């Protein structure tokens, strides 16, 4: 705050200086938000490039997006998966990834974990969806041991019957990618942007 003891002319100058500083801070915050919102797109581009052009094995861990963002699978249809009116009204970003899987809404409470591997990187694992899922399920079972009732159920990571991790994959001739969005926390109201999928795993119907 400016000094109340300053004469009027100096008060005005101080106010203008402070106002400009505040505007700079606000604009800087907006720029950070824009960059963080773009990061998920950039990460997907990076992952696809590493899958298709690199010969190394990768594990990428990253925080979620700064604002709620909808990510659809490669074959997802917006009219069937999204509450279009709400998404447009609230200007929720929507993007399509290059892998399969369902539609997810990611936000600051999401953690992304990606494995990009050569087909012979993991001994005894055939480069097909189910063997890769079984391997990842066994891996995360060790990670979450003693924390909760962890299971791999119908391609979802769950605690008990509560899904907290969704997966997607892509497999090329010599390499594969398996990436997961884990819910560290979530806002219930954000689920209102998504429709219930036509096919729901049986465990979620119990």
**pLDDT (tens digit, 9 = 90+) per residue, 31-43?**
444 444 455 778 8
Q: Are 94 and 157 in contact (CB under 8 A)?
A: no
H helix or E strand, kind and range, residue 80: helix 78-81
Using alpha carbons, list the distances in angstroms from residue 148 to 100, 109, 153.
Answer: 28, 19, 15
Question: Mean of the per-residue pLDDT values for the chain?
Answer: 83
What is the pLDDT at residue 21? 42
**pLDDT value, residue 111:** 94
> Which residues fall within 8 angstroms of residue 5, CB to CB, at 6 or more apart?
none
Global pTM reads 0.77
* CATH superfamily placement of domain 8-205: Bira Bifunctional Protein; Domain 2 (3.30.930.10)
**Residue range 21-74, pLDDT digits in tens:** 444 444 444 444 444 445 577 889 999 999 999 999 999 999 988 889 999 999
């Amino acid at each position: 705050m400016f000094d109340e003891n300053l004469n009027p002319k100096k008060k005005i100058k101080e106010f203008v200086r402070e106002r400009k500083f505040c505007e700079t801070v606000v604009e800087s915050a907006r720029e950070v938000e824009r960059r963080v919102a773009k990061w998920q797109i950039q990460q997907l581009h990076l992952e696809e490039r590493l899958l298709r052009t690199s010969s190394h094995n990768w594990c990428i861990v990253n925080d979620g997006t700064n604002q709620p963002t909808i990510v659809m699978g490669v074959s997802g249809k917006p009219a069937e998966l999204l509450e279009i009116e709400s998404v447009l009204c609230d200007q929720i970003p929507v993007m399509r990834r290059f892998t399969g899987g369902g539609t997810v809404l990611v936000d600051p409470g999401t953690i992304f974990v990606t494995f990009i591997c050569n087909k012979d990187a993991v001994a005894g694992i055939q480069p097909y969806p189910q063997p890769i899922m079984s391997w990842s399920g066994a891996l995360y079972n060790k990670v979450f041991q003693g924390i909760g009732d962890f299971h791999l159920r119908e391609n979802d990571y769950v605690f008990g019957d509560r899904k907290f991790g969704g997966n997607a994959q892509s497999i090329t001739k010599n390499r594969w990618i398996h990436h997961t969005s884990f819910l560290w926390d979530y806002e219930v109201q954000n689920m209102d942007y998504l429709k219930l999928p036509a096919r729901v795993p049986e465990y979620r119907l119990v």
